[in-house]
Structure 1
Amino acid sequence: MSARSDQPRVLLYVQNLLGIGHLRRAAAVARGLVAEGLAVDFVSGGMPVPHLPLGGAELVQLPPVRALDDAFKVLVDQHDRPIDDGFRDARRDRLLALLAERRPAAVITELFPFGRRQMRFELLPLLEAAREAPWRPVVLSSMRDILVTKPRADRNREIVDTLNAYYDVAMIHADPRLVRLERTFPMAADIRVPLAYTGYVVNADDLAIPEADPLATGEVLVSAGGGAVGHDFMRRIADAMPALPLADRTWRFVTGHHMRADALDYLRGLGRPNLVVETMRPDLPALMAGAALSISQAGYNTLLELMAVRARAVVVPFEGGVETEQRLRADLLAEAGALEVVPETGLRPATLAAAIGRALARPRDAVPAVDLDGARAAAALVMRAVRERAAA
């Protein structure tokens, strides 16, 4: 789909380093922007992911990088070579050329400056160029609900100073009735630009809840998002499976695009006739909707899709490296009565079986009312900001 010449353009930048959650959420925002009547350049700096639905946005793939591990300290290219200054300069120049060529009415950076500090080499020059551009694009940050808290005060001050210097709005893709930015960012009060809570962004469109409750006959669905950090989780669920409720049902393991090959081999090597292994299902939310039970990790996209389809769910939040956001989000939703949580450190057959029992006893309509209209609300906010800037 080609954009009309009179459509305002948006440059939406996203950098996935380990999993694909940020990429999928940004793709949902992009689809919302297109539906609102904006032309979108979807600028991705991570490893390419097949079948990413962009709804008519144009994909601009930068030379890809990823994090070597969950410490996020070392960045490597698509050949697993550490990136150098020449690589960084080439990416920066490509990004600046795109800004000058497309002249977007709005620039959106996904997560930055709340995260992706590793990408300052290209994002700070982009922000400087946007601030100096004669057409004065609106600059917005697009942030999920929960921040991985920075232990150093100087890093938090850097986030605040960057927001205040370069941005017009910070979009928070959350329902403020459930969690607000100050819960996980101690210097939120120092932010001078508006904080706009859009509601949660559900990645999948047109989600449908089956009329018939799938509890009696549905499968057990086990999923790990993109799969980059799900190998141990998948093995442990598979090992516990014979001792768990619904053990005689079909158990469908959807491992994700980035699952390690040895984990796939392990699952397939178990030889259980009712254990099905698939690497990717673009219709994963539909599988959630039709499952008797979902067992998964607790990324943003996964939990929102589970709530949208009212699935009975047990989640095991990823807590490796410096990650805290999955556990906090899962605990908040568990407190609200939406799902059951089993901590990684407590993942044993007995604790998992108990959590499954509680989830299966939960009525399907027990999911709390949470604002899931974030993609549409974010798009409307961006369009409004663009029009106001044009009229100023």
Structure 2
Amino acid sequence: MAESLMTAPRIFFYVQHLLGIGHIARASRIANALVKDGFDVTVVTGGLPVPGFPAEGIKTVALPAVVANDAGFSGLADADGRPADEAFLNARRQLLLGAFHAARPDVVIIEAFPFGRRQMRFELLPLLEAIGKAEPRPKLLSSVRDILQENRKAGRDAETVALVRDHFDAVLVHGDPGFIRLEDTFPLTPGIADRLRYTGLVAAPPAPEPTETFDIIASAGGGAVGAELIGAAKAAAAMLPAALRWLLISGPNLPEADFAALSRDVAQNVTLVRFRKDFPSLLRGAKVSISQAGYNTVGDLLRTECRAILIPFVAGGETEQTVRAERLQALGLADILPEKGLTPDHVKEAVETALAAPRRGPVLLDLDGAEKTAAIIRSMIAESLA
């Protein structure tokens, strides 16, 4: 490692998004901060392309894309929706291992695994083996959000702890421990407590003033499961005063048939788009946001004084967004609507309540997780050379 660190330390950053875009968005923000701090970063992506992630100028290796077969993450499919067979997965695995050997990194970051992304063990376990055999061996870090999926199958937490202890030098927990700690959703945390490094929430930097202003913004993240949210918001807009300007962001992954259906009979005060790169900036000018409670959307909201209506994603037994939304509601930072049985009337009433409430003050949570991640990694490298 010492020879390579005469120049910029090399980072090999693996990220796999399967359904939404939260994982690739968070990883891209961290990669941006690493590059800004002088690291040589290669991001390896394994999902469908997402505009703007990773940012232009960052070296990227795009593996043949896989996606979740369904909202329950029960299997993998290729970009055309065909089940990913062994030949396809073997080709991916060889490309990943080849990219690792070509990069000769000083540090490898694997996003989510081993706490999640068990579907990717076919290529990640061989990658761990290759890292262990490399000379010199790079540092290996897990990059994980602050709230994990609960109701995991018996034995999985113990397997995760064993993988961390056997292979990983540190676990980067992208959260503020004053808001929530890893042990709140991962009971076996004491077994890896010596590996944890809290970075703060990885939120985008404070956005500039918006070039366009909307009163209410409804967004569905990646959009793969956002049709009902956007549809309810569109119908609610028709029930509220026409003077209110609405922006509906369906997400790039919303099925084309759903987007076409939403595009019919759009009122004059409503704008429907798939994606807005300036979403964080638009939130600064909005009075109310309606969204799921994904990590990145919440991070964007916490940078603003916009009132938040959160509709946590719960399909397939998902618990992460509900935990986050309830914590925010307890702090007075959001209102919650249930995903199941959501109606336009629910949305209308929640918007009326939010419009009548005062804009909230600044949030006292650590939102600088990307920059602190870079600082932690640089410190770890310095310690290894001391």
Tell me the TM-score range normalised by the shorter chain: over 0.9
The letter for the 1-side match of 2:297 is T
In 1, the alpha carbon distance for the partners of 2:195 and 2:116 equals 18
Are the aligned partners of 2:232 and 2:347 in contact in 1 as well (CA < 8 Å)? no
In 1, the alpha carbon distance for the partners of 2:357 and 2:258 equals 32
Pairwise CA distance, 1:218:
4.3
Pairwise CA distance, 1:226:
1.0
Pairwise CA distance, 1:31:
0.4
Pairwise CA distance, 1:292:
2.0
Are the aligned partners of 1:31 and 1:56 in contact in 2 as well (CA < 8 Å)? no
Q: Kindly indicate whether residue 323 of structure 2 is the aligned counterpart of residue 328 of structure 1.
A: yes
1:57-106: CA deviation from partner (whole Å, max 9, x where unpaired): 21110111111111211211122221122222221111112222211000
In 2, the alpha carbon distance for the partners of 1:269 and 1:348 equals 19
Describe the SS at the equivalent of 2:316: coil
Are the aligned partners of 2:307 and 2:360 in contact in 1 as well (CA < 8 Å)? no
1:350-370: CA deviation from partner (whole Å, max 9, x where unpaired): 443343233224333435311
Pairwise CA distance, 1:117:
0.2
In structure 2, what is the equivalent of residue 81 of structure 1? 82
> What does 1:168-317 correspond to in 2, within 5 Å?
168-191=169-192, 193-202=194-203, 204-208=204-208, 218-244=214-240, 246-317=241-312
Query: Relative to structure 1, is the Cα distance of residues 208 and 309 closer, same or farther in structure 2, using a 3 angstrom cutoff?
Result: farther
Q: Kindly indicate whether residue 37 of structure 2 is the aligned counterpart of residue 36 of structure 1.
A: yes
Pairwise CA distance, 1:55:
5.8
In 2, the alpha carbon distance for the partners of 1:219 and 1:274 equals 10
Q: What RMSD over aligned residues (CA atoms) do the two structures have, in Å? A: 2.0
Describe the SS at the equivalent of 2:280: helix
In 2, the alpha carbon distance for the partners of 1:55 and 1:178 equals 33
The letter for the 2-side match of 1:191 is I
Q: Kindly indicate whether residue 138 of structure 2 is the aligned counterpart of residue 137 of structure 1.
A: yes
Deviates more, 1:340-349 or 1:28-37: 340-349
In 1, the alpha carbon distance for the partners of 2:7 and 2:18 equals 35
Query: Relative to structure 1, is the Cα distance of residues 107 and 314 closer, same or farther in structure 2, using a 3 angstrom cutoff?
Result: same
In structure 2, what is the equivalent of residue 115 of structure 1? 116
Percent identity of equivalent pairs: 43
Deviates more, 1:9-18 or 1:273-282: 273-282
In structure 2, what is the equivalent of residue 318 of structure 1? 313
In structure 2, what is the equivalent of residue 16 of structure 1? 17
In 2, the alpha carbon distance for the partners of 1:198 and 1:39 equals 20
Any stretches of 5+ residues in structure 1 without a counterpart? none
Pairwise CA distance, 1:50:
2.4
Are the aligned partners of 1:168 and 1:193 in contact in 2 as well (CA < 8 Å)? no
In 2, the alpha carbon distance for the partners of 1:179 and 1:21 equals 19
> What does 1:360-375 correspond to in 2, within 5 Å?
360-375=355-370
TM-score by length of 2: 0.93
The letter for the 2-side match of 1:353 is K
In structure 1, what is the equivalent of residue 65 of structure 2? 64
1:139-194: CA deviation from partner (whole Å, max 9, x where unpaired): 10000111001432311111111111100000110110010011111211122542
In 2, the alpha carbon distance for the partners of 1:156 and 1:341 equals 29
Are the aligned partners of 2:12 and 2:109 in contact in 1 as well (CA < 8 Å)? yes
In 2, the alpha carbon distance for the partners of 1:126 and 1:234 equals 40
Query: Relative to structure 1, is the Cα distance of residues 350 and 83 closer, same or farther in structure 2, using a 3 angstrom cutoff?
Result: closer
Describe the SS at the equivalent of 2:340: helix
In 2, the alpha carbon distance for the partners of 1:295 and 1:339 equals 10
Pairwise CA distance, 1:270:
2.2
Name the count of aligned residue pairs: 382
Are the aligned partners of 2:220 and 2:249 in contact in 1 as well (CA < 8 Å)? yes
Query: Relative to structure 1, is the Cα distance of residues 312 and 192 closer, same or farther in structure 2, using a 3 angstrom cutoff?
Result: closer
Describe the SS at the equivalent of 2:217: strand
> What does 1:345-360 correspond to in 2, within 5 Å?
345=340, 347-360=342-355
Describe the SS at the equivalent of 1:371: coil
